[in-house]
Amino acid sequence: MNLSLKRRFKALYQFFVLVLIPFNTFALTKQLISADSTINLSVALPLQSNMVVQQNKPLKIWGHIKKGQSVTVTADWLENGVTVKGDASNNFLAIISVPAAKKGDYSKHAIQVTSGNQKVELSNLLIGDLWFCSGQSNMQFAMREVKDAEKAIASANYPNLRVLNVKFNWKDKPSEIFEGKWQECSPASVRDFSAIGYYYAVELQKQLDIPIGAIYSGVGGSVAQAYLPEEVLAGDSLLKATYLDPFYKGDAYKNSDLNKFTFGTTSYPYLIYNGMIYPFHNLSIKGFLWYQGESNRSERESYIQLTGTLIKTWRQRFAQGDLPFYYVQVAPHAYQKMDSTLNDYAFFREAQEQLSNISNTAMVVTMDVGDPQDIHPKNKKPIASRLARVALNRTYNRLDVAYKGPQFHYAEYSKNKTVVHFEPASVAGGLKTSDGKAPKYFFVAGDDQKFHQAEAQIVANTVVLTCKKVKQPVAIRYAFTNYPTTNLENGEGLPAVPFRTDNWTEPNNRATQ
């Protein structure tokens, strides 16, 4: 068993021991309650005391009640309540307005849901912004795993920041049931919470001075197709052929109970969507954060189509317009192949970058914080800070906050020399290196399509390349190998985006799962 499989087996074993056994007990209890919910009033699980209510949007209050029975929803910020009746499926849905958050206002609020003599009260609520975080292990990577974890956790006293950590859940059909509890941010509540989600929320609250909520709902080792509905995958010919058809033909689908955990559960289509995304569709949120890709790294066209469809589908299902979708490019990693010439992972990162062409999306670069031998680099705070920069500029209109690292614009070729120009806005603060040394990982090639390492020098806001082995350069690649840890950045400390100027065919050396 290679190292990658050992790590994955260990992670899945931990899920089984620490999560699945207690989860199955919890789920059974919840299902028994749900069976009686056609008589008794119940409120959907995402709606809990201690949560952050999304500001300045209609808030859906939904749950179960007997058909025809009235349900009244009141909130302490409303003059009048809203009354609805249970529908034929014993569900109810009420919509109430929520005011805009006020800077520095951390007033506690309450919502009451009543039906006859039955009442559910949601207390200790804050009105602010709520962000939904998802993806695989680098987004799941908990505060207890970061460098100097105990020191960082000890300082996590932010009672006006709220977190919801959703336990791993998968279903063969869409389910409302999940396990997770809204909590005030404290050393105890963030220990197992997403480090990126936590650091992101802290930075936003610091900058905006309003309540911030963060949900993490995802799982390590998961594939992107696990986060899409079955019917959406079936409705796209490429996605159906790539992901659904092979799954349907496999033994796991034909012979197994998909609701029972197996080694491949996180690699199956649509199961995680049913258990971890579907329950939140009615929840008002500010936007999405996404960090995923390692488990799909051998794909190109299908991954672009898959993740683009995920963005579109989530926006449609949450039904709040083109919600912001900010995502993280996978970090450099060798996958136990310490060959500095391999570039299959670079081609995958290139595919990820194409997703930023979708409206209201943006990609965060991690080329300077990767680890060739650790797929889970422990320095998560810079990544969260970069996501916060994106949100501050793009969502909160803080146009003075830079969020782009140096982005390739064009190149000037001459004999034995190439001048690389960057988009002016991406180098407004100048160009530099993080270690004061020359920029690393620039390569040039001639017509023979053979790349050679170039010497690089920063000149004003350009990088000048020379290479004695290439008399007439025609193409450049920057950080376009599997595991380069880069040092080129702008004045804000944001790393340069990897790029290539050629369109030459990728070598047939892609990683395998």
Q: pTM value?
A: 0.92
Residue 191: the pLDDT is 98
Band (pLDDT 50/70/90 cuts) for residue 56 is very high
Report which of 126, 128, 191 is spatially closest to residue 155, judged by C-alpha positions. Answer: 191
User: Given 369, 394, 419, which residue is the final one in a domain?
Assistant: 394
- pLDDT averaged over the chain? 93
Residue 31: the pLDDT is 40
Residue 97: the pLDDT is 98
User: Given 368, 394, 420, which residue is the final one in a domain?
Assistant: 394
CATH of residue 259: 3.40.50.1110
Band (pLDDT 50/70/90 cuts) for residue 418 is very high
Residue 509: the pLDDT is 74
Query: Letter for the amino acid at 43?
Result: V
Contact partners, residue 337, CB within 8 Å, separation at least 6: 482
| 290 in the same domain as 421 | no
Report which of 391, 393, 378, 358 is spatially closest to residue 131, judged by C-alpha positions. Answer: 391
Residue 416: the pLDDT is 84
Question: DSSP characters for 78-100?
Answer: -SS-EEEE--TTSEEEEEE--PP
**Can you tell me the mean pLDDT for 331-350?**
96
Beta-carbon neighbour count of residue 117 at 10 Å?
6
| 418 in the same domain as 388 | no
| 384 in the same domain as 430 | no
User: CA angle, 252 as apex, 247 and 254 as ends, to 5°?
Assistant: 85
| 362 in the same domain as 256 | yes
Q: Say if CB 127 and CB 101 are below 8 A apart.
A: yes
Percent of the chain with pLDDT over 90: 90
| 288 in the same domain as 203 | yes
| 283 in the same domain as 229 | yes
| 357 in the same domain as 440 | no
Burial 3-31, CB ≥16 within 10 A → b, else e: eeeebbeebbeebeeebbeebeeebeebe
The answer to the question of residue 18 being in a domain is: no
User: Given 342, 372, 394, which residue is the final one in a domain?
Assistant: 394
Q: Which domain holds residue 284?
A: 199-394
| 254 in the same domain as 212 | yes
What is residue 115's three-state secondary structure? strand
| 351 in the same domain as 212 | yes
Contact partners, residue 169, CB within 8 Å, separation at least 6: 23, 27, 175, 177, 178, 179, 272, 275, 276
Q: Is the dihedral of CA 125, 126, 132, 134 positive or negative?
A: negative
Q: Is the pLDDT of residue 117 over 60?
A: yes
The answer to the question of residue 314 being in a domain is: yes
| 362 in the same domain as 247 | yes
The answer to the question of residue 267 being in a domain is: yes
User: Mapped to the 3 state alphabet, what secondary structure does 394-463 carry?
Assistant: HCCCCCCCCCCCCCEEEEEEECCEEEEEECHHHHCCCEEECCCCCCCCEEEECCCCCEEECEEEEECCEE
The total domain count for the chain is: 2
Q: Is 150 exposed, middle or buried (0-12, 13-18, 19+ CB in 10 A)?
A: exposed
| 443 in the same domain as 363 | no
Beta-carbon neighbour count of residue 435 at 10 Å?
9
Residue 20: the pLDDT is 45
| 237 in the same domain as 309 | yes
